[in-house]
């Protein structure tokens, strides 16, 4: 159930269960070095490796990474092609290590835009890692929050029309169960690198009660210490979910 429906405070040691990241700033990182944007994307992959490992060490349960948005198709064709090949090559070369390290891989986003062969690979990587329990890494590829909500509403409508779902009022849990993130807790901590303060059509529904953290650090420079800083900011916050601060301190409210 979504956090907005079923508020819960952070895990016992204060580590967020679910961290969602907009990995932004690769292009600017490269441009600062008078290098092509591709160089920044390659450096960005190294940062992903570090952050996945660190999340597993910290005991984060779910890490969602925004790899390619439904709007990123608007970029120059060569950049889109480069991003796609980096995506495939990185996963292909890392899949066995990820599997060995207990990482469960899951993709969210509209896969129908990808070539059949890539869609098959994605299904294969998910199947290979589906029983792993150390950390779930969710990769948002051709993902948009509007797309996610539309496809959830569509599924509900179709199931009702087919009689697979009884006619009932639309409710928040019903929508959550049909989003691409079904079964995952909502993000506790959202991080956006690269200095922009916007959500750029990421997990719009799921971010209802997420703590937001923005940093100027460009994604390729985001390392273990940067993640520790974001988590200590998270730990210092009081999540109230609509209650008063006093209620939270006294734990008098049934949270």
Which residues are known to be catalytic?
A: 24, 72
* 210 binding ligand IPE? (CB under 6 A): no
Q: Are 226 and 217 in contact (CB under 8 A)?
A: yes
- Choose which of 2, 21, 24, 191 interacts with Mg ion (CB under 5 A): 24
What three-state secondary structure class fits 160? Answer: helix
User: Which region, judged by CB under 5 A, interacts with Mg ion, from 8-16, 21-29, 127-135, 224-232?
Assistant: 21-29
How near is the Cβ of 13 to ligand IPE at its closest, in Å? Answer: 29
- Beta-bridge partners for 135: 103
* 67 binding ligand IPE? (CB under 6 A): yes
Q: Which tokens is 132 given?
A: 């792993």
Pick between residue 39 and residue 241 the one whose CB is nearest to ligand IPE.
Answer: 39
Nearest one of 222, 253, 184, 246 to 25, comparing CA atoms: 222
Pick between residue 37 and residue 178 the one whose CB is nearest to ligand IPE.
Answer: 37
Position of minimal CB gap to Mg ion = 24
* 220 binding ligand IPE? (CB under 6 A): no
How near is the Cβ of 29 to ligand IPE at its closest, in Å? Answer: 7
* 172 binding ligand IPE? (CB under 6 A): no
Q: Which of Mg ion, ligand IPE, none binds 69 (CB below 5-8 Å, type-dependent)?
A: ligand IPE
Pick between residue 69 and residue 176 the one whose CB is nearest to Mg ion.
Answer: 69
How near is the Cβ of 203 to ligand IPE at its closest, in Å? Answer: 12
Q: Are 118 and 88 in contact (CB under 8 A)?
A: yes
With contacts defined by CB under 5 A, how many residues of the chain interact with Mg ion?
Answer: 1
Long-range contacts of 24-27, Cβ-Cβ distance < 8 Å, separation of 24 or more: 24/192, 24/193, 24/194, 24/195, 24/196, 24/218, 24/219, 25/193, 25/194, 25/195, 25/217, 25/218, 25/219, 25/220, 26/218, 26/219, 26/220
Residues that bind Mg ion (CB under 5 A): 24
């Amino acid at each position: 159930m979504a956090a907005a429906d079923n508020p819960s405070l952070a895990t016992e040691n204060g580590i967020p269960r679910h961290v969602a990241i907009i990995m932004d700033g690769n292009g600017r990182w490269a441009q600062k070095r008078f290098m092509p944007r591709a160089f920044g994307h390659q450096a960005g992959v190294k940062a992903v490796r570090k952050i996945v490992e660190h999340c597993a060490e910290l005991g984060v349960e779910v890490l969602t990474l925004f790899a390619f948005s439904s709007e990123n198709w608007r970029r120059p064709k060569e950049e889109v092609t480069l991003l796609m090949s980096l995506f495939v090559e990185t996963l292909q070369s890392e899949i066995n290590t990820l599997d060995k390290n207990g990482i469960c891989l899951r993709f969210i986003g509209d896969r129908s835009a990808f070539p059949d062969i890539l869609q098959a690979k994605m299904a294969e990587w998910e199947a290979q890692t589906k029983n792993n329990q150390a950390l779930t890494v969710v990769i948002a590829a051709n993902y948009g929050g509007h797309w996610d909500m539309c496809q959830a509403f569509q599924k509900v409508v179709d199931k009702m029309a087919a009689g697979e779902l009884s006619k009932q009022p639309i409710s928040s849990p019903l929508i959550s169960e049909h989003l691409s993130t079904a079964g995952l807790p909502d993000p506790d901590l959202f991080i956006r690198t690269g200095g922009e303060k916007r959500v750029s059509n990421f997990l719009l529904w799921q971010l209802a009660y997420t703590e937001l953290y923005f940093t100027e650090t460009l994604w390729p420079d985001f390392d273990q210490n940067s993640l520790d800083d974001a988590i200590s900011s998270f730990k210092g916050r009081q999540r109230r979910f609509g209650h008063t601060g006093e209620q939270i301190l006294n734990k008098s409210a049934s949270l």
